[in-house]
Structure formats: structure tokens, C-alpha cells
Amino acid sequence: MSDYLDTLKNLNLRPNKVKVKEHTEEILMEVDIPEPKQILQELFIQMGEISNMPSGKRKDMAILRLAIIAEYDAASLYEKMAEEVSDKNVKKTLLHIANEEKVHIGELEFLLEHVDPEHETNEEKGEEEVMDLTGLDAPPNE
Ligand SMILES: [Fe+2]
């Protein structure tokens, strides 16, 4: 989360305040929130940088990670749109599309696990750290 906030701060965008949960405490924090158009531009800027990388595993990993970010942004955007529309069929379809974006995240995560040999291990380490920190159990489907 803080990496994401750092990225947002470095984009030199309009100032805003957001509530951020630090452990169990909710704090008010001054950060710059990008407009959706700027988020899309940032993805294209990052893709431009990745394009300059030599072909190979590292470039493929960078593209998959960026694609996952794009899918999360798309899913969030469709959910926000669904909240705002009044027509129930438009709302239903937007939520359906948001869920399809989440399936795309699953597809890309699956590929990343195959391309990045450390992805799975790091994910498991992260889960263990959170379970130790919070006392949470593994989700029931794992
Ligand atoms: Fe998608």
C-alpha cells in the first residue's frame, strides 16, 4: 500500500486527502490522487519504459506485473461506475465486466507464477507474515 501511495505522490498530481489504515488505526493522510486519465497515461509511460528493456524473462515479468496493475485499475473503475449509474441493467453489466477483469488478474497471476520462479515463494512468505502478524488463518479455499 505505501509503495502505491509513494507512486501516487511522485506523479505530481492534484492534492487530496485520503484515509489510510495503518495496522488497525485509521489516519488521515495528505496524498496526491491521480485522475483516471493520468493513471492510464502512467501505465502507457511505464509500458514505454518496459519497451526499452531487452527481450526475455525480466521484460515478460515487467509486462505481466503492469498488466495486473491495469486490470486492478479497470476492475476498480467499473465498480465505481456501477455505484454511480441508476439504470439497473447498466449497473449489472458494469459489475459483470468488473468481475471479468478480476478473472483476467487470475490469468495474469497464473502466467506470472510460471515466468517468475520467485513469485509463488514470495506470495507464500507474505501470507505467512500476515498470518503471524494478525493471527488470521489461511482463506478457506486454500
Ligand atoms: Fe481485463
- Which range (4-8, 10-14, 48-52, 55-59) has the least confidence? 10-14
**What is the 31 CA–ligand 1 centroid distance (Å)?**
27
Domain presence at residue 30: yes
42-53 residue pLDDT tens: 899 999 999 999
Domain presence at residue 126: yes
**What is the 134 CA–ligand 1 centroid distance (Å)?**
32
Residues 123 and 112 in one domain: yes
**What is the 26 CA–ligand 1 centroid distance (Å)?**
31
Q: How many domains does the chain have?
A: 2
Domain presence at residue 140: no
**What is the 70 CA–ligand 1 centroid distance (Å)?**
8
73-127 residue pLDDT tens: 999 999 999 999 999 999 999 999 999 999 999 999 999 999 998 988 998 999 9
CA distances from 116 to 31, 101, 122, 124 (A): 32, 22, 10, 14
Residues 27 and 50 in one domain: no
Domain presence at residue 81: yes
What predicted TM-score, i.e. pTM, was given to this entire model?
A: 0.69
Domain span holding position 82: 35-134
